Amino acid sequence: MITMEWTIRSEEPDDAEGIAAVLTDAFSRKDEAELVSLIRNSDAYDPELSLVCVEDGTIVGYVLFSPVVIRAADCDETKALALAPVAVLTQFRNQGIGTALIEEGIHRSHQKRAKIIVVLGEPGYYRRFRFESAKTHGIEPPWEVPEGSFMILGLEKNVLRDVHGMVHYPEAFSSTANTLK
């Protein structure tokens, strides 16, 4: 049995190419890599919430948390974060890397005083991190998505009680939204 040792850390300036390779491999297209590049070059980028998993000097996994706003009909706004994208190289899947990246990202988000995280993804996967349907809280995505796939996580007790409205993503998501669905 071969045991792999990997480390999770914040993205560094020289990581862009390795991150793009992971995203392109995981999604079999370049859209997510282009999205991350756009975010990296915007005000929405926080390197402490852009995490890589490195094994033997190679980036094998990646996750990004970006700021979003939940805007109610009365224009009341609540700051939150969006988890997107998360990816692991094909040959490194099913080793707990994606789970470790997400858990570390949630932990760092909470340390940075974030209170809410949204994600668009497979409900069965994200429930393990305590994500639940955003719709049940009156929180909607800005695009048409499959029922139940837009989810939310409150990082503090009762934080979702008075929050409702539509999630507004950074501009970079708008330019790639049609290809990411």
State pLDDT tens for residues 13-49.
999 999 999 999 999 999 999 999 999 999 989 999 9
**pLDDT over 90 percentage in the chain:** 89
pLDDT at 3: 52
Vertex 111 angle, CA 109 and 116, to 5° = 40
- Class in CATH terms, 6-180: alpha beta
Residue 170: other Cβ atoms inside 10 A: 19
**pLDDT over 70 percentage in the chain:** 94
pTM of the shown model: 0.92
CB-based contacts of 1, cutoff 8 Å, min separation 6: none
